[in-house]
């Protein structure tokens, strides 16, 4: 028997399930007997909780549904694998499960924290002469993994953001100056501004675009921000501003902390941010007297498979397939990457890279892609991001809503 298992970890995306499709199809093509899926990632696997994907994906219609299903079909987790020294039992348990089920390949779809898991398990296998292979499949809406040109999940989120921002601008400009509203849209992105920058993609012949974009790559100057609003209110009938949840002031505080709210902390010690747009709206209303509206795209942006990018879906599938191929060749401790061959026409292939150089490093937007003076994105960013949002995969509607594939 030659079996393979795949798990999903971290925050869900609109296309993480397409990587499962890529894994399943390639594994079957290469003659794997069983393609298993961990239920709720490694946290579930440790408890012996996994399913046989044949039960769902032998039916080709279900594969088409899975490509259109957002979030983690297998269930996700935010489990931080302990270091071997502190918890050897967990490692023994994992490898015992792999041996018992004749699983020679372990694939893990996720972002920084998940690549850390791949690194630790492949290191353990190497140190203990275990035959199993561990491969990372990149996935993060944040687009902050290094080495890879971009991350599956980003393109669909960016497409949702660009589309929604365009519709928000349309809505906000429906009244004249007498009802001018400052609309501040909060977009996900803790340390990197890739998602907030995608607001720039709304601009076109039929849309003047957002009036400013604030990214965590630069510091946020409240006084300058208020000056900008005070300037725009004379020039425009509508003001729409995109702000990354992670923007910080010069003294290192998150903008949402300007209201001194307590911040919860997740399992990895990351601060749970929210309310940055609301905070800024309160300040703008108080300081300028203008009507304001805070919009938080929240989980809508990462779950919106109804307007996912076809390019993103196809690339998510490709990285899943490549991970299987590499493991099948005997490679381990690597993450699949996306390699841009050219911009126009856009061409992208897959590659692999040692996961040790990827884990826990974050890729930010190059400062030279940001028009710092006008708080806009330069053409370099548009050239980079535009191809990633191209194409659509029409949902399969039933009773007026898109249908999904779910575990029974």
Residue carrying structure tokens 């599938």: 317
End-to-end alpha carbon distance in the chain: 26
Q: Which secondary-structure segment (H or E) carries 326?
A: helix 310-328
- Between 109 and 122, whose beta carbon lies closer to a copy of itself? 109
Among 7, 12, 37, 320, binds a copy of itself (CB under 8 A): 12
Pick out residues in 198-217 that bind a copy of itself (CB under 8 A): 201-202, 204, 206-207
Tell me whether residue 227 or residue 299 sits nearer to a copy of itself (CB atom): 299
394 is an interface residue for a copy of itself by CB under 8 A: yes
Does 190 help bind a copy of itself (rule: CB under 8 A)? no
CA distances from 359 to 41, 54, 62, 295 (A): 18, 31, 33, 33
CB of 277 to a copy of itself, least distance (A): 10
The answer to whether 74 touches 37, Cβ cutoff 8 Å, is yes
Is the preceding omega at residue 329 within 30 degrees of 0, hence cis? no
Cα dihedral value 310, 311, 312, 315, nearest 10: 120
| Contact set for a copy of itself, span 97-116 (CB under 8 A) | none
Q: DSSP alpha helices (H): ranges in 251-290? A: 276-288
Q: CB 72 → a copy of itself: shortest distance, Å?
A: 4
Q: Is 351 exposed, middle or buried (0-12, 13-18, 19+ CB in 10 A)?
A: middle
Q: What are phi and psi of 77, to 5 degrees?
A: -155, 165
CA nearest neighbour of 152 among 22, 298, 45, 245: 22
Nearer to a copy of itself, 75 or 136 (CB): 75
Considering CB under 8 A, how many residues would be counted as binding a copy of itself? 67
Looking at 40-48, 144-152, 334-342, 346-354, which segment touches a copy of itself (CB under 8 A)? 40-48
189 by DSSP, 3-state: which? Answer: coil
Is residue 303 near a copy of itself by the rule CB under 8 A?
yes
The answer to whether 174 contacts a copy of itself (rule: CB under 8 A) is: yes
Q: Kindly state the helix (H) or strand (E) to which residue 57 belongs, with its residue range.
A: helix 54-57
Question: Quick check: 390 binds a copy of itself (CB under 8 A)?
Answer: yes
Query: What distance in Å separates the CA atoms of residue 322 and residue 335, rounded to the nearest whole number?
Result: 10
**Cβ(332)–Cβ(134) under 8 Å?**
yes
Site track 59-98 with a copy of itself (rule: CB under 8 A), x = hit: ----------xxxx--xxxx--------------------
Rounded least distance, CB 194 to a copy of itself, Å:
15
By the rule CB under 8 A, 304 interacts with a copy of itself: yes
8 Å CB contact between 49 and 39: yes
| By the rule CB under 8 A, 164 interacts with a copy of itself | yes
Active site residue 144: no
Phi, psi for 354 (deg, rounded to 5): -55, 120
Distance separating alpha carbons of residues 9 and 70, to the nearest angstrom: 14
Nearer to a copy of itself, 5 or 327 (CB): 5
| Closest separation in Å from C-beta 126 to a copy of itself | 31
Among 150, 159, 322, 363, binds a copy of itself (CB under 8 A): 159
Structural contact between residues 255 and 249, judged by C-beta atoms closer than 8 angstroms: yes
By beta-carbon proximity to a copy of itself, the closer residue of 94 and 168 is 168
- Active-site option among 113, 116, 142, 211: 142
Catalytic residue annotation: 142
Task: List interacting residues with a copy of itself (CB under 8 A).
Answer: 8, 12, 40, 43-44, 69-72, 75-78, 159, 162-164, 166-168, 170-176, 178-179, 183, 201-202, 204, 206-207, 264, 278, 291, 293, 295-296, 298-300, 302-307, 309, 386, 389-392, 394, 397-406
């Amino acid at each position: 028997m030659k079996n393979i298992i795949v798990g999903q970890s971290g925050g869900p995306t609109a296309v993480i399930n397409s990587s499962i499709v890529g894994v399943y199809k390639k594994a079957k093509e290469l003659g794997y007997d069983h393609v298993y899926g961990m239920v709720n990632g490694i946290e579930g696997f440790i408890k012996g909780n996994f399913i046989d994907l044949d039960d769902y994906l032998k039916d080709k219609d279900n594969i088409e549904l899975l490509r259109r299903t957002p979030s983690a079909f297998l269930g996700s987790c935010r489990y931080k694998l302990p270091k071997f020294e502190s918890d050897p039992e967990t490692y023994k348990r994992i490898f015992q499960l792999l041996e018992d089920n004749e699983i020679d390949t372990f694939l893990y779809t996720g972002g920084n924290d998940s690549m850390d898991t791949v690194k630790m398990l492949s290191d353990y296998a190497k140190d203990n002469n275990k035959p199993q292979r561990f491969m990372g499949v990149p996935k993060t809406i944040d687009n902050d993994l290094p080495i890879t040109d971009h991350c599956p999940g980003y393109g669909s989120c960016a497409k949702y953001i660009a589309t929604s921002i365009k519709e928000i601008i349309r809505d906000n400009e429906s009244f004249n100056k007498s009802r001018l509203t400052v609309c501040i849209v909060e977009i996900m992105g803790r340390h990197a501004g890739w998602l907030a920058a995608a607001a720039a993609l709304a601009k076109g012949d039929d849309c003047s675009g957002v009036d400013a974009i604030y990214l965590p790559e630069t510091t946020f100057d409240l006084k300058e921000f208020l000056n900008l609003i005070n300037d725009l209110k004379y020039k425009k009938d509508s003001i729409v501003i995109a702000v990354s949840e992670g923007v910080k002031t010069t003294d290192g505080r998150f903008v949402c902390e300007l209201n001194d709210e307590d911040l919860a902390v997740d399992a990895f010690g990351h601060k749970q941010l929210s309310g940055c747009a609301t905070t800024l709206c309160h300040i703008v209303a108080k300081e300028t007297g203008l009507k304001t509206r805070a919009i938080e795209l929240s989980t809508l942006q990462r779950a919106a498979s109804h307007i996912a990018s076809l390019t993103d879906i196809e690339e998510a599938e490709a990285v899943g397939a490549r991970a299987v191929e590499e493991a099948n060749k005997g490679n381990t401790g690597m993450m699949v990457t996306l390699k841009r061959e050219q911009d126009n026409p856009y061409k992208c292939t897959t590659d692999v890279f040692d996961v040790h150089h990827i884990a826990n490093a974050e890729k930010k937007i190059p400062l030279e892609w940001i028009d710092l003076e006008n708080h806009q994105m330069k053409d370099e960013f548009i050239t980079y991001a535009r191809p990633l949002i191209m194409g659509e995969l029409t949902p399969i509607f039933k009773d007026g809503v898109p249908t999904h594939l779910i575990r029974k």
